[in-house]
């Protein structure tokens, strides 16, 4: 596959993804007032989680599209004499929001199952704080189009602890409760990390490994649609069906 074909494949996917994820967030916001009272807090957390994900990825994949349009992923722009890389700045934006996304996933688990965070939950919150602290270090080289090692490994280790820890809690409690929607969400989070870990470890040596970010992103989208159809749309659709049958 030629570099040009790969570039256009990524551009088309990125634009389509942003349209879908923002459309999902807007649909969640529009449906939220009809959600039963007992799920209001849960659905608000989902809106915040996917709103932040969409916002960060607008910077991440949006800036990559702009960099492709300029003809160079190393494209920079200047603000008050300081140079910023488009791709690196986008990576920073999504690094912040995806961390908050998984903090909110942990809060969603807590709200769904009313379980105390306990030492394990607070350890996951600590992982998010440590990741933010690592992200402040100059060795991250946020202007670089390719994340540098070993800083990429360090900061993503704590993201992996946070994300997979949250997935474990969701799977543990959803399987016990036979809560199929959350079981699927937990499984999709695990799938996303199974695809992301090779990128963290190998993308510097084998850039094509970065293509795994496409199915990894689709796993996130799947979590959003599972949440939407089970907690935003289902109650209203059931109400409509009941009215239709009684008529």
CATH (domain of 101):
1.20.1070.10
What DSSP designation does 84 have?
A: E
Q: What is the pLDDT of residues 179-193, one digit of tens each?
A: 999 999 999 999 999
Give the tokens for residue 171.
């799977």
- The answer to whether residue 114 is domain-embedded is yes
Look up the domain containing 70 and give its range: 3-238
pLDDT at 240: 37
What DSSP designation does 145 have?
A: S
pLDDT at 61: 77
Q: Is the pLDDT of residue 76 over 60?
A: no
72, HSE (Cβ side, Cα atoms, 13 Å): 6
Smallest CA-to-CA distance from 9 within 60, 65, 55 is with 65
Mean pLDDT, rounded, of the chain: 85
- The answer to whether residue 202 is domain-embedded is yes
Lookup result for tokens 């088309």: 12
The three-state secondary structure class of 79 is strand
**What is the domain count for the chain?**
1
Helical (H) or strand (E) element with 220:
helix 213-227
In whole angstroms, what is the distance from residue 151 CA to residue 140 CA?
Answer: 6
- The answer to whether residue 243 is domain-embedded is no
Q: What is the pTM of this model?
A: 0.86
Residues 6 or more apart in contact with residue 11 via CB below 8 angstroms:
65, 68
């Amino acid at each position: 596959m030629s570099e040009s074909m790969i570039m256009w494949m990524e551009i088309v996917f990125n634009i389509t993804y942003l349209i879908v994820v923002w459309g999902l967030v807007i649909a969640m916001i529009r449906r939220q007032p009809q959600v039963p009272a007992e799920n209001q807090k849960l659905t608000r957390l989902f809106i915040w989680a996917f709103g932040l994900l969409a916002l960060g990825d607008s910077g991440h994949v949006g800036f990559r599209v702009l960099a492709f349009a300029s003809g160079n992923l190393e494209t920079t722009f200047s603000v008050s004499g300081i140079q910023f890389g488009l791709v690196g700045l986008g990576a920073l934006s999504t690094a912040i929001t995806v961390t908050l996304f998984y903090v909110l996933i942990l809060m969603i688990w807590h709200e769904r199952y009313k379980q105390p965070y306990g030492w394990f939950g607070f350890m996951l919150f600590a992982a998010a704080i440590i990741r933010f602290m690592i992200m402040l270090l100059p060795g991250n080289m946020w202007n670089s189009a390719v994340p540098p090692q070993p800083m990429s490994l360090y900061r993503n280790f704590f993201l992996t602890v946070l994300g997979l820890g949250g997935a474990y809690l969701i799977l543990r409690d959803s399987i016990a409760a036979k809560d199929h929607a959350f079981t699927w969400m937990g499984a999709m989070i695990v799938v996303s990390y199974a695809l992301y870990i090779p990128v963290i470890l190998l993308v510097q040596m084998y850039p094509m490994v970065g293509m795994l970010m496409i199915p990894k992103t689709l796993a996130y989208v799947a979590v959003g649609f599972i949440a939407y159809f089970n907690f935003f749309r289902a109650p209203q659709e059931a109400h409509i069906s009941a009215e239709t049958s009684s008529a």
